[in-house]
Amino acid sequence: MEKFLKIKSIPAYLPIVNIDTDMIIPKQFLKTIKRTGLGKSLFFEMRYDENEKPISDFILNQSPYNKSKILIADKNFGCGSSREHAPWALLDFGIRVVIAPSFADIFYNNCFKNGILPIVMPSEKIKELSEFSDQKKEITVDLEDQKIHKDDNQPFDFDVDQFRKECLLNGHDDIALTLSKSSKIDSFISDNKSKTPWLF
């Protein structure tokens, strides 16, 4: 998993309540178990018409938002089914940060496991950040300092679980965390073999 340090980008603002995982990545794209290639189908039914032509007024089809690394959303983002393809699609598109007033729990947890930082922010601050999207101005998300920097020198603080923060900063997903304990795992197996040889 790529290390998360600072993300600087013009944010894309998607002011829709209850965006569910089927809206993020529809069910017909769930056949793959690869984490790559899903970005082109992100928000498929909102981004494309019935002929699969890009809808020009959808924000992620517009420049500079089609290169945004930060998505600003509304309440209950990521609700619906627990499909991990949703953060895969966001990440493959290039989104590393999602800022919203609230998230669905499973989606929120899946973001951390896949290198995306979900930030819970009050609605009034979401509104202020959305103005930077409207004005096509960059903001910077600094995970180490837990601040969102704007051009007015009055950063917003945000909370994040310290274990999850360390995992993102070091680029550790669940597999990497397990491998970091490989010497202890090997020691346990060796010890267990001597104690219970009939199991091996």
| Domains, in order of start, for the chain | 11-138 (3.20.19.10)
Tokens matching residue 113: 């496991």
Packing angle between helix 105-113 and helix 85-93, nearest 10 degrees? 50
Q: What percentage of the chain exceeds 70 in pLDDT? A: 97
Per-residue burial over 180-189, b = 16 or more CB atoms within 10 Å of its CB, e = otherwise: eeeeeeeeee
Confidence of residue 5 (pLDDT cuts 50, 70, 90): confident
CA distance 5 to 19: 27
Q: Could you report the per-residue pLDDT of 49-60, keeping only the tens digit for each?
A: 999 999 999 999
What's the average model confidence in pLDDT over 94-99?
98
DSSP class of residue 32? Answer: -
pLDDT at 180 over 80: no
Say which residue the tokens 């490989």 belong to: 182
**E strands present in 68-168:** 70-72, 97-100, 117-120, 139-142, 147-149, 156-157
Closest CA to 101 of 124, 116, 128, 120: 120
